[in-house]
Amino acid sequence: MSELAMPQSLRLRAPKEDGQALLVPPLADEASWVQQNVALRRSYDYDIHGCSLAEMAEEARHTLLQTARHYTSRYLELPATPIDDDAPVILVGHQPELVHTGVWFKNFVLSQLAKRSSAHAVHILCDNDAVGQASIPVPGGLLDTPHITSVGLDRPTAAVAYQQRSVIDAEQFRSFGDRVAAAIRPLIPAPLIQKMWPWAVEAMEHGENLGQSIAQARHRLEAEWGLSTLEVPLGQLCCHSPARRLTLHLLDHAERFRTIHNESLADFRTYNRIRSHTHPVPALTKSDSLTEVPFWIWTQAAPTRRPLFVRRPADQLHLTDRASLHVSLDLDPDGELQVAESQLNEMETRGISIRPRALITTLMARLLWGDVFIHGIGGAKYDELTDAIVRRFFAIQPPAYLVATLTAMLPLARPAVRPEDVRRIDQLVRQLRYHHESHVPITPETDHLIEQKRFWTRTDIRAEKRRQRHHEIERINLALQPFLAKRRQQLFQERAQLRAMLKSASILNSREYAFCLFPESFLRQRLLDSVTVHGM
């Protein structure tokens, strides 16, 4: 089997039916595979400038838990218990945004799996990702004529990382919950947003940025529902020594990493029959003596993320965005990283941030900070590529990950219609045009016309008579048309109704709506029941 052919994610599909969950591998024997990952982590002997990856991971996990407890205690009361460094660490990670229920389901799996495994549960807020639209789609209107309204959280700005994105328009942010509730009220009288949004406003007023305000409101809701997890922004973890040292190691081996990354990416595309040159990620480039590395760089003054490039002269790393930013790090001839690490920290105090891109984010999460990572379907598929890179670059077996998602639709009376219903009507309309004889009422006149058509269609006609046959069939078809007018009109009306129902269904049947649009009692029961039914 190809090293890219990970059985757990080859044929993953989001469940189609409302209420169905997907969990791979099965959770009934979670203790065995969690412990297998723990044993695997402790075996990592890859050398990173005098320190094994296993030793670095021990330090990274302790730092993760300390940082996550400190961050979470800013808005949640935590039990005053010491950190158990020997307990496994289970992770999820996502952008701090209003996610759909299938994404949110991972947090419920995280909490329950950690409880059953006596493990720590941590959600990493991926604030290295760029903020997209500061709005969410909200369905409204009546059941038979619904529509979508885009409701904004904040004033639009240039795309920057969540870490850099503060709330621009405080009044728009404050009113977001009320505006969402008003938009969806004809369909959902009491959406969850009404309960959780005051917590987001409170966080904003305490100085939290856009993403953290949203995430803290969600996390407080989870705690009220009985989940027990910690949260931490990725940006904080990236400033600690283990992440700094792994970053420097990848920068120091930029050319070898670029070669392995691009070879693994090519294999991934071939195996999955992907023709796009940008999916799932672009290849890393090389221009003159500059090698692209899978990191972003930005500054406080110019917060737009830019790709990072590195040049490696003797005992130095020159870093640049190939625009206006140029910095140098000093490498110790004996391979020590303390000086370069200190310089990275000093850069951070000057407002220069270096953060991993998506694949390196999960690579760090799985090799440094956690023992089990819970992916959605998209992340699971992309991490087949990460696994190939880990095997080739570090020469180790990557830890297994869990895949979890749920399909939940708004609790509404949705039209029972499918696209094939419209196609069936289209086929009937076509038959009325070209095969009238199967549908016209039988009368002496129609019976005579049908017999004439049968004569022309069944008789072997000489070449010189074929034009005449064509004209005769056209004449007969035209003569039969008036007998089908009523049936044709009925089909047109039925097709118009079905198309309207399909349009309504496409709005009402979506699994992509933010979890905060659901009624609390419905969604809470749906999520808690789902983790119970699937062996939790």
- Beta bridge mates, 403: 24, 375
pLDDT band at 3 (very low <50, low <70, confident <90, very high): very low
pLDDT at 2 > cutoff 70: no
Of 276-285, 374-383, 411-420, the poorest mean pLDDT is in: 411-420
pLDDT given for residue 426 in this prediction: 82
- Residue 212 burial (CB < 10 Å; 0-12/13-18/19+)? buried
pLDDT at 534 > cutoff 70: no
pLDDT tens digits for 33-77?
Answer: 888 999 999 999 999 988 999 999 999 999 999 999 999 999 999
H or E segment at 233? strand 230-233
**Pairwise CA distance, residues 44 & 34, whole Å:** 16
Q: Say if CB 406 and CB 527 are below 8 A apart.
A: yes
pLDDT given for residue 436 in this prediction: 64
**Pairwise CA distance, residues 20 & 10, whole Å:** 19
Q: Say if CB 216 and CB 195 are below 8 A apart.
A: no
pLDDT tens digits for 4-22?
Answer: 434 444 578 889 889 999 9
pLDDT band at 424 (very low <50, low <70, confident <90, very high): confident
pLDDT given for residue 481 in this prediction: 72
Percent of the chain with pLDDT over 70: 93
Q: How far is CA 475 from CA 256, 443, 484, in A?
A: 75, 18, 15
Q: How far is CA 43 from CA 119, 176, 305, 399, in A?
A: 20, 49, 36, 11
pTM of the model: 0.88
**Pairwise CA distance, residues 111 & 105, whole Å:** 10
Q: Say if CB 354 and CB 296 are below 8 A apart.
A: yes
pLDDT given for residue 491 in this prediction: 78
Whether the upstream peptide bond of residue 356 has omega within 30° of 0, thus cis, is no
Report which of 250, 171, 185, 196 is spatially closest to residue 75, judged by C-alpha positions: 196
- The beta-strand segments (E) located in 368-462 are 372-375, 402-406
pLDDT given for residue 415 in this prediction: 76
pLDDT given for residue 444 in this prediction: 78
pLDDT tens digits for 159-174?
Answer: 899 999 999 999 999 9
pLDDT given for residue 27 in this prediction: 66
Report which of 73, 38, 1, 8 is spatially closest to residue 383, judged by C-alpha positions: 8
pLDDT given for residue 394 in this prediction: 97
